[in-house]
């Protein structure tokens, strides 16, 4: 298990292609959280051992009940899933699987100045009305600035879908962290609403993509959640998975064969968005 606090800068990026049988190694793990039975969304393992696990069928949420936002949300996405044509619809609502006082409520976001930012984006789940509307649970949200949510984050989500359409399938993990300007771990210093919903300083996304010929690629992104313009393209916010693991304390895709995992985590991509 990696350290739970970040100690490194957030510049850098990663990619290597690797041929490998798309089957996980043994499910035995040092993580204390139970493996979610039969969940294809966590085929390559649970990435952290803190939080309340919520199995939403289409995605898995690891929820921080104190800060009322996800640590992370994980799901598998197939190219066939993206052929759905259900129009965006859904009612933002608190998650009934979390008790009052341990979850965000609609009033927390009202007049807060922050968007309800999806971790598992609605556009990835247009395969059915049930899948789409499930993404509107507040347990799948964090407070995001409009500068992040409506611009570069939306662009990144679109590019992930394009990648899945090209490669065939991917496992995607999206989450939130709290960092100081000098890249040190901090506790939340901004909250919204009566329930004190924490506002993350950064949002991250990790993608493990697998082509039909069993070639894996791995990408990681870390983007600031700020009100001022977020400059550059999504590729400017790539960093190595190894570095993101040091920042977050997570071990991404721990059931991927170690020799493959370590190679994927350490190398550098040059072709995102091409």
By CB neighbour count within 10 A (0-12 exposed, 13-18 middle, 19+ buried), where does 207 fall?
buried
Q: In the annotation, is 118 catalytic?
A: yes
Which residues make Cβ contacts (< 8 Å) with residue 149, sequence separation at least 6? 115, 117
By CB neighbour count within 10 A (0-12 exposed, 13-18 middle, 19+ buried), where does 209 fall?
buried
Catalytic residue among 31, 63, 118, 202: 118
* CA separation for the pair 214, 216 (Å, rounded): 6
Instruction: Count Cα neighbours of 160 within 13 Å in the Cβ-side half-sphere.
Output: 30
Which residues make Cβ contacts (< 8 Å) with residue 20, sequence separation at least 6? 214, 215, 216, 257, 260
Question: Given the structure tokens 């790539």, which residue do they identify?
Answer: 238
Please list the active-site residues.
Answer: 118
């Amino acid at each position: 298990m990696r350290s739970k606090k970040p100690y490194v800068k957030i510049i850098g990026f990663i990619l290597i292609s690797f041929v490998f049988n798309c089957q996980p190694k043994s499910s035995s793990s040092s993580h204390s959280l139970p493996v979610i039975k039969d969940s294809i969304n966590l085929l390559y393992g649970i990435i952290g051992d803190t939080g309340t696990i919520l199995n939403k069928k289409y995605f898995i949420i690891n929820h921080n009940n104190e800060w009322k936002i996800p640590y992370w949300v994980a799901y598998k996405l197939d190219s066939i899933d993206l052929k759905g044509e259900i129009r965006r619809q859904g009612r933002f609502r608190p998650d009934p699987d979390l008790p009052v006082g341990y979850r965000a409520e609609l009033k927390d976001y009202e007049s807060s100045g922050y968007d309800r930012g999806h971790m598992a984006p609605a556009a990835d789940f247009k395969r059915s009305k049930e899948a789409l509307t499930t993404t509107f649970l507040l347990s799948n949200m964090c407070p995001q600035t409009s500068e992040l949510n409506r611009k570069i984050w939306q662009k990144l989500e679109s590019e992930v879908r394009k990648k899945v359409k090209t490669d065939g399938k991917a496992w995607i993990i999206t989450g939130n962290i709290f960092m100081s300007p000098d890249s040190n771990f901090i506790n939340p210093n901004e909250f919204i609403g009566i329930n004190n919903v924490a506002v993350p300083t950064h949002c991250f996304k990790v993608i493990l993509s697998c082509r039909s010929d069993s070639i894996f690629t791995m990408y990681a992104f870390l983007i600031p959640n700020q009100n001022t313009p977020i400059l550059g393209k999504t590729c400017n916010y790539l960093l190595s998975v190894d570095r993101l693991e040091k920042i977050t304390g997570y071990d991404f895709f721990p059931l991927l064969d170690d020799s493959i995992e370590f190679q994927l985590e350490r190398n550098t991509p040059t072709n995102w968005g091409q």
